[in-house]
A and B are shown apart, each in its own frame.
Chain A
Amino acid sequence: MTDTQRPPDAPEEDIDFEALDASEGMAVEPITQWKLFRSRLGRHRLALWSAGVLGFIVFVTIFADFIPGLGDPSAELRDEDGGALNLLAPRGAHPFGTDNIARDVLARVVYGGRASLTVAGVTGLMVMVLGTTVGAIAGYYGGWIDNALMRFVDLVLSLPLLPVAIVAAAFLREAFEGREALALAFLLGSLTWGTLARIVRAEFLSLREKEFVEAAKAAGAKDRRIIFRHILPNAMSPIIVNATLVVGVAIIIEAALSFLGFGVVPPTPAWGQMAADGGRAAVSSGAWWLVVFPSGALIITVLAVNFLGDGLRDALDPTQTIERK
């Protein structure tokens, strides 16, 4: 799937031959990390598709209010005689059907993306900032700083995610009155950054002993510059992979908490909560569309996030060559 006609290390479109000629071969436009990244990601077709799908999903959920024909997700639909249109099978005006209290499932799936994507995005950001900072400081400085930080990470990691999340969800729901999605993101973020911190620390531990860091130190570079310019770019690949995994995991855990009744509170729709409630309703009523569409949206989103993460790993890690078949 990553096969192309070009050898991987020769992105010739990045070299401006005219400028090259004009300066009689003296000035060669450098192949920057960013260019290398773009050309590598460009070869990962599945990742590009996933980025497109994700972009589409994010766009649709943000601009849900402007989609023609998309109804109110909490409106209970009635026919001309005032009878409730509940549990309509998918067809015509309601391509995803209606639920047991006559709400349009398509509208709820689209608006449900808001809660799920907020939880996921904010969690991912939180984990990336917290995990990278703590891991980098611990791994780079070592000694008692490392020891103190890693004991704290051990503590966070040994908090069993779901059991603690269940107890904390009820507490945070009261603290973040009316903003359950943010509460969940805050909760999941503060429980899941430990893994990344450990990974980043391990990367820094081995990278700080490398010759290029020694060279940078010998050249008089300050700690900050060494951390951000020399070590961090080399540790970026596991950071990206882990952050993407966390985004996916956040959506999944939101779903798990919702299944147990500790997630986003109805009537605000969220995919996990819809899939869980729909799953129960589907068992009794046979209304498969109540579970298939929300869990489908959820699975497709998480899949796209994970595929993108994989593509980014290939593109960001300069030590890994993409082999041709």
Chain B
Amino acid sequence: MFNYIVRRLVYGVITLLALSIIVFWLLQNTGGGPLDRLKANPRITKETVAAITEFYGLDQPAIQQYFTWLSKYVTGDWGVSFQAPTPVRDLVFDRLGGTLRLMMTALGIAVLIGIPLGIYQALKQYTFLDQAATTFSFVTFSTPIFVLGISLQIVFAVYLERWTGVKFFFNAGMNSANYSDLGFLARLGDTVQHLFLPAISIALISIAAYSRYQRASMLEVLHSDYLRTAKAKGLSRRSVIVKHALRNALIPIITLISLDVATVLGGAVITETIFGWPGIGRLYITAIGQNDYPIVMAVVMAIGIMVVVMNLLADIAYGFLDPRVRYD
């Protein structure tokens, strides 16, 4: 077990190295450099540009630039933004909290609703509720997240307020400006009012995915031979479903959830853009627009690390849940 985890960690590091090489290479080979704006500015002399280029090491060959970046990255020096003299590490950690808050809420909602929904659907296959939930899943799954997000904004932030005169949800930002003056309950309320719409727009898509997979996996188990055996030997329906079916039907969903972290983080890029949410997704889009390589690299690596860790945790959990899986 210990050996397995160590080996997986080594693979994880290799994966992250590959990710960094791919993204670094792509950034180097796409038109537009980080200093384009400086170069276009007539008041900045060529000498100044050359000095800045040298300062950032941009005149060196790509491979050397990569190793310089890498050797600094592993020691915790993630470089300095080209746009402002702020350490990238501070920028990323500053925004990471926002993204994690959004992501964890969305995943939590999706797991709490999606999995029970899928199980219920499998148990009551082809009933009205199953069909309705399936239709919901399909429609949600078939809608781009930005259409979902904008629709939620229009309906629950704009029109709901117009109709009722009460502000239920905010459609931009993470907290109100007067947040620090509020009492504990008001703070909690303010946070929920801001968090609700972006979290739901991410969660809806995950709910659709989880319930669909959970339904399929539960149905597969329900049709298996050992379940028929369990029924045939006279176990109660409850015991058959909870002890025999559920325990096996829940295993595949763990892989899906761990893989979904990447999807959710990707979705966060769009959701954060729509809802003006101060997370790493919006930081990423801004940085790409400005060719701010250190930030792009740092955000991609942060997302990569989260994905690698989640995959490892999922595989370990898999082993605990399914004794047929052996680590060798």
Contact with B along A150-172 (1 / 0, CB 8 A): 01001101111111101110110
Tell me the minimal C-beta distance from A247 to chain B in angstroms.
11
Assembled-state Cα–Cα distance A299/B307 (Å): 29
Q: Is B236 an interface residue (CB 8 A)?
A: no
B267 contacts across to A, CB distance below 8 A: 162
Q: Is A279 an interface residue (CB 8 A)?
A: yes
- Assess the B144–A275 pair: CB atoms within 8 A: yes
Which residues in A have some Cβ–Cβ distance to B below 8 Å? 1-2, 151, 154-155, 157-164, 166-168, 170-171, 174, 195, 198, 241, 248, 252, 255-256, 259-260, 272, 275-276, 279, 291, 295, 298-299, 302-303, 305-307, 310, 313, 319-321, 323, 325
- Assess the A158–B311 pair: CB atoms within 8 A: yes
> If the complex has contacts A158-B19, A162-B269, A279-B147, are A174 and B30 also in contact, measured as CB distance less than 8 A?
yes
B296 closest partner in A (C-beta): A167
- Assess the A260–B138 pair: CB atoms within 8 A: no
Within 8 A of A (CB), among B261-311: 262-263, 265-267, 269-270, 273, 284-285, 288, 296, 299-300, 303-304, 307-308, 311
Assembled-state Cα–Cα distance A133/B266 (Å): 27
A313 contacts across to B, CB distance below 8 A: 216
Assembled-state Cα–Cα distance A299/B143 (Å): 6
Q: When the two chains form the complex, which single residue of A157, A170, A252, A320 contacts B223, counting CB atoms closer than 8 Å?
A: A320
Give 12 pairs: A residue, B residue, CB < 8 Å, sorted on A: A151-B14, A154-B311, A158-B308, A164-B19, A170-B26, A170-B31, A171-B26, A248-B142, A256-B144, A295-B147, A313-B216, A320-B220
Q: Is B320 an interface residue (CB 8 A)?
A: no
Q: How many A-B residue pairs have CB under 8 A?
A: 137
Assembled-state Cα–Cα distance A306/B26 (Å): 33
- Assess the A164–B23 pair: CB atoms within 8 A: yes
Tell me the minimal C-beta distance from B311 to chain A in angstroms.
7
- Assess the B269–A166 pair: CB atoms within 8 A: yes
- Assess the B262–A155 pair: CB atoms within 8 A: no
> If the complex has contacts A151-B14, A154-B311, A279-B150, are A167 and B27 also in contact, measured as CB distance less than 8 A?
yes
- Assess the B300–A164 pair: CB atoms within 8 A: yes
- Assess the A160–B288 pair: CB atoms within 8 A: no
Q: Is the interface of A mostly helix, strand, loop or mixed?
A: helix
Tell me the minimal C-beta distance from A270 to chain B in angstroms.
12
A166 closest partner in B (C-beta): B288
Report, as a range, how many residues of chain B touch the other chain: 35 or more
Tell me the minimal C-beta distance from B285 to chain A in angstroms.
6
Assembled-state Cα–Cα distance A319/B269 (Å): 40
> If the complex has contacts A151-B11, A275-B144, are A160 and B300 also in contact, measured as CB distance less than 8 A?
yes
Tell me the minimal C-beta distance from B301 to chain A in angstroms.
10
- Assess the B143–A260 pair: CB atoms within 8 A: no
- Assess the B126–A2 pair: CB atoms within 8 A: yes
- Assess the B219–A320 pair: CB atoms within 8 A: yes
- Top 6 nearest A-B pairs (CB, nearest first) are A162-B266, A302-B142, A255-B144, A303-B142, A259-B146, A160-B303
A163 contacts across to B, CB distance below 8 A: 265-266, 269, 284, 299-300, 303
- Assess the A160–B262 pair: CB atoms within 8 A: yes
Assembled-state Cα–Cα distance A14/B29 (Å): 59
Within 8 A of A (CB), among B101-145: 125-126, 131, 134, 138-139, 141-145
- Assess the A260–B273 pair: CB atoms within 8 A: yes
Which residues in B have some Cβ–Cβ distance to A below 8 Å? 11, 14-16, 18-19, 22-23, 26-27, 29-31, 125-126, 131, 134, 138-139, 141-147, 150, 216, 219-220, 223, 255, 259, 262-263, 265-267, 269-270, 273, 284-285, 288, 296, 299-300, 303-304, 307-308, 311
B138 contacts across to A, CB distance below 8 A: 303, 306-307, 310
- Assess the B270–A256 pair: CB atoms within 8 A: yes
B142 closest partner in A (C-beta): A302
Assembled-state Cα–Cα distance A189/B216 (Å): 25
A303 contacts across to B, CB distance below 8 A: 138-139, 142
> If the complex has contacts A159-B19, A299-B139, are A171 and B262 also in contact, measured as CB distance less than 8 A?
no
B139 contacts across to A, CB distance below 8 A: 299, 303
Tell me the minimal C-beta distance from A236 to chain B in angstroms.
14
Assembled-state Cα–Cα distance A154/B307 (Å): 10
Assembled-state Cα–Cα distance A255/B143 (Å): 10
A310 contacts across to B, CB distance below 8 A: 134, 138
Tell me the minimal C-beta distance from A301 to chain B in angstroms.
8
B147 closest partner in A (C-beta): A295
Assembled-state Cα–Cα distance A143/B21 (Å): 28
- Assess the A161–B266 pair: CB atoms within 8 A: yes
Tell me the minimal C-beta distance from A124 to chain B in angstroms.
15
Tell me the minimal C-beta distance from A308 to chain B in angstroms.
11
Tell me the minimal C-beta distance from B116 to chain A in angstroms.
21
- Assess the A276–B126 pair: CB atoms within 8 A: no
- Assess the B146–A276 pair: CB atoms within 8 A: yes
Tell me the minimal C-beta distance from A167 to chain B in angstroms.
5
A164 contacts across to B, CB distance below 8 A: 19, 22-23, 300
Assembled-state Cα–Cα distance A317/B39 (Å): 61
Tell me the minimal C-beta distance from A17 to chain B in angstroms.
32
Which residue among A167, A168, A295, A299 has the maximum number of chain B CB atoms within 10 Å of its CB? A167
A305 closest partner in B (C-beta): B142
> If the complex has contacts A2-B126, A161-B262, are A167 and B23 also in contact, measured as CB distance less than 8 A?
yes
Assembled-state Cα–Cα distance A298/B139 (Å): 11
- Assess the B126–A256 pair: CB atoms within 8 A: no
A306 contacts across to B, CB distance below 8 A: 138, 141-142
Which residue among A157, A160, A195, A259 has the maximum number of chain B CB atoms within 10 Å of its CB? A160
A298 contacts across to B, CB distance below 8 A: 142, 144
- Assess the A325–B126 pair: CB atoms within 8 A: yes
